[in-house]
Amino acid sequence: MSEHHLVREYLSGRLSRRAFLRRAAAAGLSVPAVSALLAACGSNNKNANTGNAKATNAGASNAATVAGGTTTAGQRFKGTVQILVGFGTGNAPAQIPVQQELAEAYMKQQPDVKIEFVRVPDSTAAQQKLTVATAGGQPPDVVLPAGRYGVYLFVDQGIWQDLGPRLAQSGVNLDAYPPNVLEAIRATGYYPQNSKAAIGVPAGYHVHVMAYNKELFAKANVPEPPHKWDTADWTYEKQLEYAKRLTLDKNGRSAADPGFDPNNVVQWGMGHFFPEMFWHGFGGRHYDPATRKAQFDTQESIGGLQWASDLVNKHHVLLTDVLAKSQGGGEGGQAFLWTSGKVAMIDMCTCDFASFGQAKDFKWDIAAMPKGPKRTFAFLNVDVGAIPRASKQQDLAWDVLRFFLIQQPNASHLILDSYGAIPPEKGQESKFAENIKGKYPNLDVQVILDAIQYCSGANEDWIPNYAQVNQLTGKHFDVIMLGQAPADSEMRKLQSEAQAAIDDWFKNNKLPTA
Partner 1 sequence: MRAVLERYRVPRARALASAARRWRARRDEAIWAYVLILPWLIGFVGLTLAPIVATLLLSLTDYRVFQPELTRFVGLQNYRTALVHDASFRTAVRVTAYYCALAVPLDLIAGLALALLLNTRVAGVTVFRTIYYIPSLISGVVLSLLFLWVFQPQFGLANALLEALGLPRQQWIYSTRLVIPSLALMSVWGVGRTMIVFLAALQGIPTELYESAQIDGAGPLAKLFAITLPMISPAIFFNLVLDVIADLQIFTAPFVITKGGPAEASLFYVLYLYRSAFEQFRMGYACALAWLLFLAIMVLTAIIFRSGSIWVYYEGGRR
Residues making contact with partner 1 (CB under 8 A): 21-22, 25-26, 31, 127-128, 131, 134-135, 153-154, 157-159, 322, 325-328, 330, 390, 465, 467-468, 471-472, 474-476, 478-479, 482, 484, 497, 500, 508
Q: Which is nearer to partner 1, 59 or 158 (CB)?
A: 158
- What does the alpha-carbon distance between residue 386 and residue 199 come to, in Å, rounded to a whole number? 6
Q: Least distance in Å: CB of 474 to partner 1?
A: 8
Q: Which is nearer to partner 1, 25 or 33 (CB)?
A: 25
Q: Least distance in Å: CB of 500 to partner 1?
A: 7
Query: What are the helix (H) ranges across 345-428?
Result: 394-405, 410-412
Q: Which is nearer to partner 1, 21 or 455 (CB)?
A: 21
Going from the C-alpha of 116 to that of each of 35, 125, 336, 401, 447, the distances in angstroms are 20, 18, 36, 13, 38
Going from the C-alpha of 82 to that of each of 47, 111, 132, 447, the distances in angstroms are 10, 16, 15, 38
Helices (H) and strands (E) in the chain, counts: 20, 13
Q: Which is nearer to partner 1, 49 or 157 (CB)?
A: 157
Q: Least distance in Å: CB of 399 to partner 1?
A: 24
Q: Least distance in Å: CB of 509 to partner 1?
A: 9
Q: Which is nearer to partner 1, 183 or 276 (CB)?
A: 276
3-state secondary structure of 77: coil
Q: Least distance in Å: CB of 204 to partner 1?
A: 25
Distance of CA 176 to the CA centre of its chain: 21
CB under 8 Å to 350, separation ≥6 — which residues? 206, 207, 208, 209, 421, 422, 432, 436, 448
Q: Least distance in Å: CB of 98 to partner 1?
A: 31
Phi (first) and psi of residue 489, to 5 degrees: -75, -40
Burial class (CB in 10 A: 0-12, 13-18, 19+), 411: buried
- What does the alpha-carbon distance between residue 148 and residue 88 come to, in Å, rounded to a whole number? 9
Q: Which is nearer to partner 1, 127 or 381 (CB)?
A: 127
Q: Which is nearer to partner 1, 249 or 365 (CB)?
A: 249
CB under 8 Å to 102, separation ≥6 — which residues? 403, 404, 410, 413, 414
Q: Least distance in Å: CB of 103 to partner 1?
A: 27
